[in-house]
Structure 1
Amino acid sequence: MRSTCSTDPTYSSSSWKTSWSKSPMRRSFSLTQLNSTHYQSVAFITHHRLGDALFTTPAIRELKRQIPDIEITILATSQAAHEVYLGNPHIKAAYDCSEGVPTEVKETHLDLTLAGLGNERSLSVSNTLNGACHFFVGTRISLKGQPRPRFKTGGADKNEAIIHATQNHINKFTRLFQLESPCCDFSYNLPITPKDTEFAKKKLQDLGIHQDQRLVGLHIGCRNIQKSKFFGLRKKELTNSRAWRMKEVIEFSGRLAKHDPQARGILTGTGSEAPLNAHLQKVCSNLIDLSNQFSIKQSAALVNELDTFICTDTGMQHISSSTSTPLIGLFGATNPVDTGPYPGRKQTTIIEADNMDMIRGSEVFLAYSETLKNHC
């Protein structure tokens, strides 16, 4: 159905498309521009993945900077996304909608709800709200398993087709709300509390870590490891496309022990990586397993206590990007231009190969040594 309206002051465009969602009381508008002065209360339905939620924080910050009077409510579609936005100074409130939309939100009139994705999670939240809803990418459900185009870094022509997800979100908000040219601050907002810092420091103290010991963070897995049945009695190697190979971790650990016997590698991870890290701790005496012991913000506080952090393309890399700790990112299956550390982040080294099998422990140790020279 196509409608036209030249008298409605809230839309700068003279026409828009409307489509009915699953609920007969909800309409989803596909807009090109909005008159921002007519929107005082705006809700944003977040992406459910940790990294994707962090990618949106600069856009929310920029929207609040340019429209100070706007009230932004975050509707998180996962507990991880909710934790990312808790304590964010640029929003009015954040709600965990992973198991249903709170009654308080349902009874609140919102001038506009924005949804980052048009998937089932976003639709289930938007269908319960008051006011219009705009999906940035339409309401089509994306097909799983479709290969994403990959662009190698290193040449201008190869990178023209893709920008970092963080910059993409800012561009969408800028066009939609007719904002002025945005600033170039793409850093993430992940506020940690003194309690988070105290928790991380106590964990290290309980391990007998001395202040003069060098600490290297290692996060070598990803959230899909458990699904791929990576670790069995007969198969002690990783095959997940995003995970760093165990034999190369052991190679790195050996070189670290040889050149700096007092240094310790801190293994981070969720329950999925816990069996892997437990095995590595047995094999390498200078590695310490701290899997599944930290919340998202406690993890950021832990990274703040480290000298360097080495990580694959996973949520933990984006957490570490929110800190000032030197970061070494390992990319074999994904594109760092798209989902790597945010553009302009200092103290960042990217190691990229066609696949994770090609990233050697010796290469990572060399990058680690150079990082120490440049930043420590």
Structure 2
Amino acid sequence: MEKSYRRILVIKLRFHGDMLLTTPVISTLKRHYPDAKIDVLLYQDTIPILSENPEINALYGLKNKKKKTSEKISNFIQLIKTLRSNKYDIVINMADQWMMAVLVRMLNAPVRISHDYSHRRNAFWRNSFTHHAAQKGTNVVESNLSVLAPLGLDSNVMKTTMSYNPSCWERVRSELAQSCVGEHYVVIQPTARQIFKCWDNDKFSQLIDALHARGLQVVLTSGPSREDLDCINAIAGGCQTPPVTALAGKLTFPELAALIDHADLFIGVDSAPGHIAAAVNTPLICLFGATNHVFWRPWSNNMIQFWAGDYQAMPSRDQLDRGKMYLSVIPAKDVISAAETMLSKNQRAPATGEEL
């Protein structure tokens, strides 16, 4: 296949963590086509997590389903005009939304590769692409990279990337100083988009008390929603000595990456910050409930992962109760012990993500 692509479009329409897990695809393309401009089409809401990645030329945002129909149509039409003008040599599609077949057809790229989705086998979808790649791999990173199989590349970049500007750390360090946080601290992100991915507030409080007893400071982070902030306040209120909550809901994704990058340890549930911790090589502990803990685990070798299924049988995906807190079966003492293990064996390395 052609070896001199100069303009590449990567398409992925998922949540923040999913977007971070596409970065090995982008890095692999950049390794093999160093002069190529690589653009990414993603949901507008998820642009911030890739906003400072130096391997990406441009990010194009698609309005998600929560927007008005008129806004989505206008946005879609404008995107097609803009993307057509870029004259892509190749499109790499990792989105299963049916409208992507329409969009890709209108870009007229000579090479159009898509994952081979089992629910997208009609003639219109299949004929919209020149190549279909089987999804392979036990983890989402490997699965994403499998889309590149038709290119016949001899190697892949097997690392996720989370970039941030030095100014992000300067701002975060200033905020930490105002809260009297020193050099050694642990970041805990207890919140997730859905309750079935969450752990009990009182268990987080017990964990924080144990870390404080060890002489470490704890910084709690979260999204900006009222529900997230209420969770943060409830956990802090249950601690003997409150953790630092001043940054909760106030950080951009690059700033969150800077905070996690300089931490001694990250602890969190199944959500994007855990994948950020893996990308910046911070030791981490992650808690998974009734989700595929192998496929969706953070891409890290310096991690202890808890799965609720090791304590109690988990339901199949079609039987999942999204209002149930499946992680409740994981005892606080086990996570406290894991934190002791990770802190004892890890000497903090210099921060890795701040140089662009």
Answer yes or no: is 1:360 the counterpart of 2:339: no
Alignment partner, residue 173 of structure 2: 201
Alignment partner, residue 281 of structure 1: 236
Structure 2 unaligned segments of length 5 or more: list them.
64-71, 122-135, 310-325, 348-356
Alignment partner, residue 86 of structure 2: 108
Once residues 297 and 141 of structure 1 are traced to their aligned partners in structure 2, the CA distance between those partners, rounded to angstroms, is 35
Answer yes or no: is 1:263 the counterpart of 2:216: yes
TM-score by length of 1: 0.72
Once residues 105 and 2 of structure 2 are traced to their aligned partners in structure 1, the CA distance between those partners, rounded to angstroms, is 23
Distance of aligned partners of 1:254 and 1:140 in 2 relative to their CA distance in 1, 3 Å threshold: same
Letter in 2 for 1:109: K
SS of alignment partner, residue 267 of structure 2:
strand
Alignment of 1:205-220 (within 5 A): 205-211=177-183, 214-220=184-190
Alignment of 1:1-376 (within 5 A): 35-37=1-3, 39-80=5-46, 82-98=47-63, 100=75, 101-102=78-79, 103-119=81-97, 122=100, 126=104, 129-131=107-109, 133-138=112-117, 140=119, 163-173=138-148, 175-180=149-154, 182-183=155-156, 185-211=157-183, 214-224=184-194, 240-257=195-212, 259-260=213-214, 262-270=215-223, 271=225, 272-284=227-239, 285-289=241-245, 290-342=247-299, 345-354=300-309, 355-376=326-347
TM-score by length of 2: 0.76
Q: Is the 8 A contact 2:222 2:228 kept in 1?
A: yes
Q: Is the 8 A contact 2:6 2:89 kept in 1?
A: yes
Once residues 102 and 234 of structure 2 are traced to their aligned partners in structure 1, the CA distance between those partners, rounded to angstroms, is 41
Once residues 102 and 259 of structure 2 are traced to their aligned partners in structure 1, the CA distance between those partners, rounded to angstroms, is 35
Once residues 242 and 282 of structure 2 are traced to their aligned partners in structure 1, the CA distance between those partners, rounded to angstroms, is 21
Q: How far 1:130 moved relative to its partner?
A: 4.0
Query: For 1:282-303, what per-residue CA distance to the aligned partner results, in whole angstroms no more than 9, with x for missing partners?
Result: 2223322232111111100011
Which range moved further: 282-291 or 324-333? Answer: 282-291
Distance of aligned partners of 1:347 and 1:38 in 2 relative to their CA distance in 1, 3 Å threshold: closer
Q: How far 1:327 moved relative to its partner?
A: 0.6
Distance of aligned partners of 1:273 and 1:124 in 2 relative to their CA distance in 1, 3 Å threshold: farther
Once residues 374 and 267 of structure 1 are traced to their aligned partners in structure 2, the CA distance between those partners, rounded to angstroms, is 23
Structure 1 unaligned segments of length 5 or more: list them.
1-34, 143-160, 225-239
Q: Is the 8 A contact 1:118 1:141 kept in 2?
A: yes
SS of alignment partner, residue 303 of structure 1:
helix
RMSD, matched Cα: 2.5
Letter in 1 for 2:166: P
Letter in 2 for 1:169: N
Identity %: 21
SS of alignment partner, residue 21 of structure 2:
helix
Query: For 1:172-200, what per-residue CA distance to the aligned partner results, in whole angstroms no more than 9, with x for missing partners?
Result: 21x121111x24x4221221101111111
SS of alignment partner, residue 336 of structure 1:
coil
Q: Which has the higher contact order (CA 8 A, sep 6+)?
A: 2
Query: For 1:122-150, what per-residue CA distance to the aligned partner results, in whole angstroms no more than 9, with x for missing partners?
Result: 457546634364431349479xxxxxxxx
Distance of aligned partners of 1:332 and 1:139 in 2 relative to their CA distance in 1, 3 Å threshold: closer
Q: Is the 8 A contact 2:185 2:265 kept in 1?
A: yes
